[in-house]
Structure 1
């Protein structure tokens, strides 16, 4: 057997330990796999993102539509009421935003003619004039002496209110204050204010009354007309 020279053995050992070369076909194969993965991710993102964006935009559109509908309903409601009384006309601005339920009830009763022919049955100077169903003598005297412990100034002069609690058709009275009356805060819900006709309110306030604060001569509301604008 022929001996291999040491120099030849060294070269042969280096060839065995050297790194194996990756073929071009293997590189192309892995590149194709990587490209396929990237393409699939792009497709999934492309389908999911528009749907998510569409849902978000759709929810925004629905929300805006609901708000617009609510605003349009509010704007469709009359904003003013004109009380045509035997002393003249009183124009009321209705508080549709702060007292929506009471305003809705008031508008409904106006449309049914509830206030036609209604009398101002109690008149107290520097306090309030009250129109509605007469609840008997002494009723407003009781009102004038109770509940003067609150400090709120919510009830300014020339504010329109009604009694708190659930109303019946006959129980929806109208109260117009003729001075700041903080002691009525626990009794009345303010749902409007007089913007024209303060002189008419004052004229009603000055009528002669008996000892029970009832006008000696009738003062009544002929009718109430509703208007969008004044």
Structure 2
């Protein structure tokens, strides 16, 4: 083959191959950028979860020091700059806040585009829900200020009111509905002038997967709030003791 013809063939091949090479390089770069963005999103969510845990530990530290008569120690690290106490088990809303932080770190980054993605999401969500139930269920001591008279319920006595951070304290969650055994309900009913009560018992946290609920608007009226897309927040409170709050000790 003459040298000129060979040169023409080689140039033609170079022209044909060059766009494909450039296209592959661009696609590879876009894929790498997407992976980096996903990693950054997960790291940001992990940081948010760590901040919430630090706040929760700070709240517990303050409570224990108060019981021991020691001044509360300010926490170190992210979120320590005078931030409000973080979520724990002080109310259903505080539990929900903690679950939302965990959801953001563990489930929110997962893709849900394809059917395979959705199946994987359901598996991961179910595993997380089981872990969350073990981690966040436990003993509680809630202080409620009733906003109306107790109501008879098939499951016991229904109470509606605001949860307080302490007897006679600040409202931390308004408009909470709780069920207590009828034997406690009778005691409350006999003292209508007594508005504040201390409820001791256990709370069982039960996140529930529902792939039909992408947002709060997708549920029927009265549906459980969402921890995040496709995960409902459910819990069960079991009262073991209902008493009048102890009067605050004078300093």
**Shorter-chain TM-score category?**
0.3 to 0.5
Larger Rg, first or second structure (1 or 2): 1
Q: Which has the higher contact order (CA 8 A, sep 6+)?
A: 1
TM-score by length of 1: 0.37
User: Normalised by the size of structure 2, how large is the TM-score?
Assistant: 0.35
